[in-house]
Structure 1
Amino acid sequence: MPDLANSRTAHSLLQLMWLASPALPIGGFSYSEGLEAAIEAGLVHDEASAADWLVHQLHLTQTRSDIAVIAQAIPAWRAGDDARVQALNDWVLVTRETSELRLQSEQMGQSLVAWLRNQHPGNVAVDTLAQLSGRTPSYPVAFALAASLTGAPLADCLLSYAFGWAENMVQAAIKAVPLGQSAGQRILARLASEIPAAVQAASLLENNERTAFSPMLAILSARHEHQYSRIFRS
């Protein structure tokens, strides 16, 4: 029987599960990333439409943007390439198409920095993240550092991020549509079946192939900023 008490693999896996957990104190539960505005506009109204919306968002926005950034930022953190990390962080912040989407990335990034400082006091890379040339640390770049410190393989780190995103978004759908817990689990199962392909696609993107072009999401997010009744911050 393997010695799990001294297994590096077990330690890395537990760290990734921790990073993916909704209990991580970074505020992910308070954002719907445009879903609430889609519900207000009648684009999402039941289990099927919520599942379709989230699957499309996974492939069209997360895969081509945040997961792709994390796929490139983890090797940069592990190589100590601060200039590359800075460039990726800058790209994330300047490509957020609305103020609330940028504020989400900044708030969650700063919260993750605080968590990392608590977990890894005195870590040079964490200090570097907190002082990115006048820029606020973005969440994808902060997550990339947290994942890189687990020592886990890149693919596992990306799967962890994607599942954590999916779980938060399903919880948002359950609250805002609203849906029952069983419906939420069916949506999460569908997302889980789509995540490996999304992660594979993101890991193969070249630097000039990343994109944050999601016009419908940008319009809905801009509308959400002035939505009369809402429970989420994005």
Structure 2
Amino acid sequence: MTTDLSILTLSQWLSPAYPVGAFAYSHGLETAIQYGTIQTAADVQDWLRDLLAFGSGRNDCILFHAAYACETDHAAIAVDAVARANVPAAERLRETALQGAAFCKTTSAISGPPLPELTYPVAVGYGAKRLDIPAPLAAAMYLQAFTSTLISAAVRLVPLGQTEGQAVLSALSPLCHQIANDTDNTPLDNLQSSCFLSDIAAMTHETLDHRIFRS
């Protein structure tokens, strides 16, 4: 597969139009905004920078690369079990499991052969491996799409202007590229998070009196 076609495939997979339902999840961001922890574009950028560098963003990239290294469905399912065991909140588990299942269903239908039901970063990593899409490119675009989804949630919740949201994404894109490359060949034993506020926000989201997102 050529790099140009790889980019087009990834653009399709990671587009808001791809039916994984990413728009329905805030990854705990809704809690932080309701509690007043996040009030400005700068707050959003700081929150997401930490999430990418020290939390679930980095972990997703480690899982992505581990899945990309898999040669069989059995190996990918083993990575997936580790992914599920390391999710810190019930809603976060539903978020990654449901998006991953939807990704596998759609991708199997349009490009085959069938993918097993996997969590989202594992599904995208294993799917990229099957189509021989370059891992650094796919991981960076996955992480940018993850960031873009959360910025879109913040634009609606804070609220932020669309231009402010795009400025935050532009500022964080180099970090997405860096993390995608830095986590290549990182063992699963290095999965960890020091983003405790984000994890707690995800845990407490289900108790919010008013919410529009599923996580």
Query: Do these two structures clear the TM 0.5 threshold for a shared fold by scoring above it?
Result: yes
- Which residue number corresponds to residue 90 of structure 1? 81
- Which residue number corresponds to residue 75 of structure 1? 69
The two structures have a TM-score, normalised by structure 1, of 0.86
- Which residue number corresponds to residue 24 of structure 2? 30
CA contact (8 A) 1:22 1:167 kept: no
Q: Distance in 2 between matches of 1:25 and 1:56?
A: 28
Give the CA RMSD over aligned residues: 1.7
Q: Distance in 2 between matches of 1:53 and 1:112?
A: 27
Unaligned runs of 5+ in 1: 1-6, 131-136
C-alpha spacing 1:72/1:213, structure 2 compared with 1 (3 Å): same
Q: Does 1:157 align with 2:151?
A: no
SS in 2 for 1:179: coil
Q: Does 1:113 align with 2:94?
A: no
SS in 2 for 1:225: helix
Deviation at 1:194, TM superposition (A): 1.4
| Of 37, 47, 67, the match for 1:43 | 37
Q: Distance in 1 between matches of 2:42 and 2:193?
A: 25
Q: Distance in 2 between matches of 1:169 and 1:118?
A: 27
Q: Distance in 2 between matches of 1:172 and 1:12?
A: 28
Q: Does 1:224 align with 2:205?
A: yes
CA contact (8 A) 1:98 1:218 kept: yes
State the identity %: 26
Q: Distance in 1 between matches of 2:153 and 2:57?
A: 20
Q: Distance in 1 between matches of 2:167 and 2:121?
A: 27
Stretches of 4+ aligned residues off by more than 4 angstroms? none
Q: Distance in 2 between matches of 1:117 and 1:87?
A: 20
C-alpha spacing 1:15/1:108, structure 2 compared with 1 (3 Å): same
Deviation at 1:67, TM superposition (A): 0.8
CA contact (8 A) 1:96 1:212 kept: no
- Which residue number corresponds to residue 147 of structure 2? 166
SS in 1 for 2:184: helix
| Of 163, 167, 180, the match for 1:199 | 180
CA contact (8 A) 2:76 2:126 kept: no
Deviation at 1:167, TM superposition (A): 1.2
The two structures have a TM-score, normalised by structure 2, of 0.93
C-alpha spacing 1:63/1:165, structure 2 compared with 1 (3 Å): closer
User: What do the CA deviations read for 1:174-209 (whole angstroms, capped 9, x no partner)?
Assistant: 011100011011101011121121112221422311
Letter in 2 for 1:197: Q
